[in-house]
Chain A
Amino acid sequence: DIQMTQSPSSLSASVGDRVTITCRASQSINSYLNWYQQKPGKAPKLLVYAASSLQSGVPSRFSGSGSGTDFTLTISSLQPEDFATYYCQQSNSSPRTFGQGTKVEIK
């Protein structure tokens, strides 16, 4: 199975900050990488698919990059509604493993 490792596991940031979350795969997954946002008690929401394609309706302050084994999700200017947990997930092969999550908290 492909292991997905996110860093950091949590971070504290202020509104307006630039935030970067990293996801590393245990082997190459080409660009088969998705990012999700989850708020407490809610289903996850797709933000980015295929490493860098922004899902329709997602604000442009979110962006994804990377290929192979190393990927990043960047929030260019953190907004109050962005405080949540973020997950990466590989779609290169089954099982479709998720990262452990990164919790973004208010500083």
Chain B
Amino acid sequence: QVQLVQSGAEVKKPGASVKVSCKASGYTFSGYYMHWVRQAPGQGLEWMGWINPNSGGTIYTQKFQGRVTMTRDTSSSTAYMEVSGLTSDDTAVYYCAREGVVPTGTAYYYYGMDVWGQGTTVIVSS
């Protein structure tokens, strides 16, 4: 079945980096964009950015520019998201989620984030 399986929980010290993986199965990895979304404890959803697994192209929200790197390995159908310079504000559950995107002439049709990983808890604490 279609699924995204994320790496396990991490505990990091302030200033460190964390790299979360998201392994896709059951579908053509390069055919869907991959988003990364995080949720701080008791808070709402925060979109971090996305990667086009086909081209490797990325878009990050400005808040994370220079601190977040999204990559992919098409041979293993795995997406990665690395955050550097961690602070306590980065304590959150991090999700990957795929989205189907179809070009329609001069625009695109977006199908929403229909499959999500189980989430990876990252705790930043000294």
Q: Are A95 and B45 in contact (CB under 8 A)?
A: no
Chain A residues in 8 Å Cβ range of B89: none
Q: Say yes or no: A101-B44 contact (C-beta < 8 A), given A32-B110, A91-B110, A95-B62.
A: yes
Evaluate contact between A96 and B116: CB separation under 8 angstroms.
no
Partner among A46, A55, A89 whose Cβ is within 8 Å of the Cβ of B45: A89
Q: Does B111 contact A (CB under 8 A)?
A: yes
**Bound Cα distance from A48 to B111, whole angstroms:** 9
Known: A43-B118, A43-B119, A44-B116. A98 touches B47 (CB 8 A): yes
Q: How many residues of B contact A (CB 8 A)?
A: 24
Chain B facing A: main interface SS: strand
Q: Chain B nearest CB: distance from A71 CB in Å? A: 13
Residues of A close to B99: CB separation below 8 A: 91
Chain A residues at the B interface, C-beta cutoff of 8 Å: 1, 32, 34, 36, 38, 43-46, 48-50, 55, 87, 89, 91, 94-101
Interface residues of B (CB under 8 A from A): 35, 37, 44-47, 49-50, 59, 61-62, 95, 97, 99, 109-114, 116-119
A-B contacts, 16 of them at CB < 8 A, read A34-B112, A34-B113, A36-B45, A43-B116, A44-B45, A44-B113, A44-B116, A46-B114, A49-B110, A55-B114, A89-B47, A94-B49, A95-B47, A95-B61, A96-B47, A101-B44
